Amino acid sequence: MAGTAGDATPLETALVALARASVETPALLSPRALEPVRALAGDGALDYALVLGAFHFINRIADLLGVDPDALPPALRRLEPVRRAGVWLASRLVRRMDLRNRPDRTDWDAAVAAVAAAAGAVAPAALEPLRPRPKLVEAIGLALAERDRTTLDRATLARVHRGVEAALPREPGDARGLHARPADPVDAFVFVGTRYPARVGAAMIRRLRAAGFDDLGLLDLATAVADANQWARLHRLLGLPPALFRVA
């Protein structure tokens, strides 16, 4: 980001660089992309990988389902006095929350068993890179459980997973430019939701509703796109087998 502070710490700089790579060139991510953070934060790099994956998920849920901002809408933020009042109010509200860290109490064996049961043929040894942070295994288990409770059929789920992989940006222009979109409403939703989720709008949702998606179907389709995008980044950064989550 052009506005990154000049006095940012080395770790802050490394985190922003990782965020940029995850948005602009996620198809090229590998465990090597996490090394600058690992050199500064040790196994904390695993915690940051989880944050990164979680926000690729959250951003897509917000944009693909048209979730209202909790703070001021962008149009009102352009008015400086209103923006300042909004920041003040938001800070008062957030102060009511308990944001203190909590210990990672995830049981390694139980989390691995849950993932192995849901993922089928994947050997538990594949999860060894995550042993310093069992919570990552729990997070993957939660995503697998969500995948398996969806109302989407397996063929549609596999189509979403293939579509996300195919659309994943390989160069910065892929995440910003103007590109031909697939004609099919599901494929178009997957493509736009992967490359530039902020461009999903009401017209795309109307086309999906016309194709038979109700509210729950839309929730499941958006979740599938968001989870596949989270996984596309996590498995590359953490050196995990793609088939652990992906439906063929």
Partner 1 sequence: MAFIATVPPRRATGETAAAYRYMARVGGSDLVANVVRVFSLRPASMRRMIRSWELAMWTGDEPRTLRETLAAAVSRLNDCHY
List residues near partner 1 by CB under 8 A.
1, 11-12, 15-16, 18-20, 22-24, 41, 44, 47-48, 50-59, 61-63, 65-71, 74, 93-94, 96-104, 106, 133, 135-136, 138-139, 142-143, 145-146, 149, 196-198, 202, 205, 215-216, 218-219, 223
Residue 14: CB minimum distance to partner 1, A: 10
Q: Is the torsion defined by CA of 182, 187, 189, 192 positive or negative?
A: negative
Residue 40: CB minimum distance to partner 1, A: 10
Residue among 42 and 242 whose Cβ is closer to partner 1 = 42
**92: buried, middle or exposed (CB in 10 Å: 19+, 13-18, 0-12)?**
exposed
Nearest alpha carbon to residue 192 among 245, 220, 229, 147: 229
Residue among 159 and 194 whose Cβ is closer to partner 1 = 194
* CA 135 – CA 139 distance, rounded (Å): 6
Q: Is the torsion defined by CA of 159, 220, 74, 95 positive or negative?
A: negative
Residue 44: CB minimum distance to partner 1, A: 5
Which tokens hold the place of 137? Answer: 């295994």
Residue 222: CB minimum distance to partner 1, A: 9
Which tokens hold the place of 131? Answer: 């042993």
Residue 204: CB minimum distance to partner 1, A: 9
* CA 15 – CA 175 distance, rounded (Å): 19
Nearest alpha carbon to residue 150 among 226, 206, 209, 54: 226
Residue among 37 and 116 whose Cβ is closer to partner 1 = 37
Residue among 227 and 247 whose Cβ is closer to partner 1 = 227
Residues in the chain, total: 248
Residue 34: CB minimum distance to partner 1, A: 12
Residue 247: CB minimum distance to partner 1, A: 18
Mapping DSSP to helix (H, G, I), strand (E, B) and coil, where does residue 210 land?
A: helix
Contact 226, 192 (CB under 8 A): no
First to last CA, the chain: 36
Residue among 66 and 177 whose Cβ is closer to partner 1 = 66
Residue among 126 and 142 whose Cβ is closer to partner 1 = 142
